[in-house]
Structure 1
């Protein structure tokens, strides 16, 4: 039997530790099984660690220096011989409305990575944070110039008519640029009633006049970037409003994707998937709210296309068989039969041995 194990974080265990524990337990019950274990993660916390574990020896992981500012993101940099991964997550862990926040620190980090030791491929993994400047600050960090202020947040974009990308083009020339965003950020548009400013402004309870002004400022910036040679279709594309600043990268030709899809590509999982008899997914919780998270959603989509059954091994499972089948899951098994009582959750108590023991028990029923 050929079994592909993909796992995100489970409790306090990393994605790789979880995948390896599940694979070890399965192997104990079915020594003849052919197993592949792959750590998986969505954009954000855990993505860089999953990639580091996947790519193995020779990986360098560091935290880039950023301003001591609650609106500034935490930036990590992962390097291999040919690939650099820049991950930006909000320092506060929350998305906020901050018209003056800039994505410039991310642009500076990208520029430093390229100039220090130019990779063949650069992956930027982002999540929603304070900046919603459509990536104007990021362009400034890369070296772009304009007739207005690119790094002062959304409001300042209303003064921009011309952008100069002559220092940015050589920096990115010949570089494979991949933009990784959360799955939920694949659809938001940049402009209009369902655009970036409208969605964030309404969520923050902002005055409609301020929302309209921000939208108009971003529209003006987008027109200037298109005139400077940006991809014309980027401003109207689904996902152009992703995370508040994805637009400028799409306008520069970045290829958008999700964390699981990026890892699938880097790990070369296509052949493993096609040869698999079963896909086993590790996740923290399978419930109505999370539905197992990005990793499970991606795995069920891949397996469903190939008519491969999917099993879930999780810390907790809180949905029934009907809901599982609707998600594309054949069966789900929990380390703990129900969620810990409110206020008593202790995810650190879950250990690799618990996943290994559960995987061993599940594998016995699937041993062919």
Structure 2
């Protein structure tokens, strides 16, 4: 291989961060005498700030409310007047105390605190990267942190979480931080779901956050009610807009109250970290994530890298924890070889426990031969 191996892995959920996964493959390549460059990727969810910091952004750390109100440390990425707020750091599944879900009460107040901290840094180009949230509160908590009031029939503020939205009678946005009037807000996500309905935030994503069928019904009622009172306040109903259902409806709050524009999370991150430039020096690109399946092909970061590599004529291989695509489907998207940690390890526990060693071994194999066929399991 003449050029470097460009390693662009996303997170292996439950096992390794994107940066850790990339580092193990790079170790294998360099240990076998090859050259490799780690470029962790993300699609607007977990790992977005980490990827940007590696690409030259500065990180600002602050203490904010977690999804259940317990204080957590969270960070956002800053370059010039731009701040990238990763919702998962403040309101994500990974920061739930003890990993215990709270589908009815988890809220996004901490994400609003992150936005306020970014404004305090003088940033008026605000990028809200959503994904991996523990919440289904329609972004109500985020708006409260920025100065909005959401009250019940008696004028008393409602409680946190999506269930409390069923009692919402009025939204007052007049107290929103005045600096937001000068700011440009971009919502980045790989989700185009509406706020409510069978394809909405509660029905589709609620169960992933621990919601029972009964919980989903409550959350659905809350989101519909929130959309109604928000429309009364703003004069427009954006609940059906693509992306309104992102991150438990946080997309809705950004679109309806912060006048956000929507962009692909993967496209934003890949541009920001300079993937196109890195491809000019690469002879092989490694993409992948914990599970590589049809969902990976719908706007996720790994397939974004693969598409860019094809434009540059650079071959692409996949390394993933589990591969749910057929060899033919992989070839259709330009993948010349693939390795599944699950197939190689034989069972899930081994694949997770030995992921670092497995990734390093596959990195060595990338140097010893140029892959030309799909070879799941190695």
| TM-score normalized with structure 1 length | 0.74
Partner of 1:361: 368
Q: Offset at 1:21?
A: 6.0
Partner of 1:265: 271
Cα 1:357–1:195 shift into 2, 3 Å: closer
What is the RMSD of the two structures over their aligned residues, measured on CA atoms?
4.2
Gaps of 5+ in 2: 373-378
- Paired with 1:200 and 1:284, the residues of 2 have a C-alpha distance of 20
Q: Offset at 1:53?
A: 0.9
1:295 correspondence with 2:297: no
Superposed, 1:306-321 pairs within 5 Å as 306=311, 308-312=313-317, 314=319, 321=327
Q: Offset at 1:96?
A: 4.6
Q: Deviations over 1:71-119 (max 9, x none)?
A: 769562134342323222222497956323322222123213312x121
Aligned residues: 350
Q: Offset at 1:314?
A: 2.5
Q: Offset at 1:135?
A: 0.9
1:323 correspondence with 2:343: no
Cα 1:350–1:102 shift into 2, 3 Å: same
Partner of 2:253: 248
SS in 1 for 2:335: coil
- Paired with 2:18 and 2:39, the residues of 1 have a C-alpha distance of 12
Q: Offset at 1:249?
A: 0.9
Partner of 1:76: 74
- Paired with 2:83 and 2:326, the residues of 1 have a C-alpha distance of 42
Partner of 1:350: 357
Q: Deviations over 1:298-340 (max 9, x none)?
A: 2234445x37454115266756632321343122357997135
Contact 1:300 1:328 survives alignment (8 Å): yes
Partner of 1:163: 171
Moved more, 350-359 or 244-253: 350-359
Contact 1:282 1:312 survives alignment (8 Å): yes
Partner of 1:39: 40
- Paired with 1:289 and 1:72, the residues of 2 have a C-alpha distance of 36
Q: Offset at 1:139?
A: 0.6
Superposed, 1:68-107 pairs within 5 Å as 76-82=74-80, 83-87=82-86, 88=88, 89-90=92-93, 91-92=95-96, 96=101, 98-107=103-112
Superposed, 1:1-368 pairs within 5 Å as 5=6, 6-9=8-11, 12=16, 14-15=18-19, 18=22, 22=26, 25=29, 38-55=39-56, 59-62=58-61, 64-66=63-65, 76-82=74-80, 83-87=82-86, 88=88, 89-90=92-93, 91-92=95-96, 96=101, 98-115=103-120, 117-148=121-152, 149=157, 151-168=159-176, 170-181=178-189, 183=190, 186-199=191-204, 204-207=211-214, 214-229=219-234, 232=236, 234-244=238-248, 245-251=250-256, 252-270=258-276, 280-284=285-289, 294-303=300-309, 306=311, 308-312=313-317, 314=319, 321-332=327-338, 338-345=344-351, 346-347=353-354, 349-350=356-357, 354=361, 357-362=364-369
- Paired with 1:285 and 1:308, the residues of 2 have a C-alpha distance of 26
Q: Offset at 1:142?
A: 0.5
